[in-house]
């Protein structure tokens, strides 16, 4: 049985496609992330991740590490 959870994160500071790509890459590089998609217009990252490997805080740290803020 998988322990996957879907979450939406508001990401502040993204201005272009390169920004959204950087956030997606930072999230996808985490072991336990099944998928990560960023909607630049909505300033939202949609992440499907394994809660046995990652916490919501881990996801937020990845976004912060990429140079963006959580709204």
> Tokens 């394994």 appear where?
50
Question: Would you call 60 exposed, middle or buried from its count of C-beta atoms within 10 A (0-12, 13-18, 19+)?
Answer: middle
pLDDT for 39:
98
For 35, the token pair is 């998928």
pLDDT per residue rounded down to tens, the chain (71 residues) = 569 999 999 999 999 999 999 999 999 999 999 999 999 999 999 999 999 999 999 999 999 999 999 99
Catalogue all structural domains in the chain, each as residue range(s) with its CATH number: 4-70 (3.30.70.100)
The phi and psi torsions of 30 (rounded to 5 degrees) equal -80, 130
């Amino acid at each position: 049985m998988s322990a996957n959870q879907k979450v939406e994160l508001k990401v502040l500071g993204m201005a272009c496609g390169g920004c959204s790509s950087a956030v997606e890459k930072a999230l996808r590089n985490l072991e336990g992330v099944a998928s990560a998609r960023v909607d630049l217009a909505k300033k939202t990252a949609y992440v499907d991740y394994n809660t046995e490997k990652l916490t919501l805080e881990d996801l937020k740290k990845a976004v912060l590490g990429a140079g963006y803020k959580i709204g």
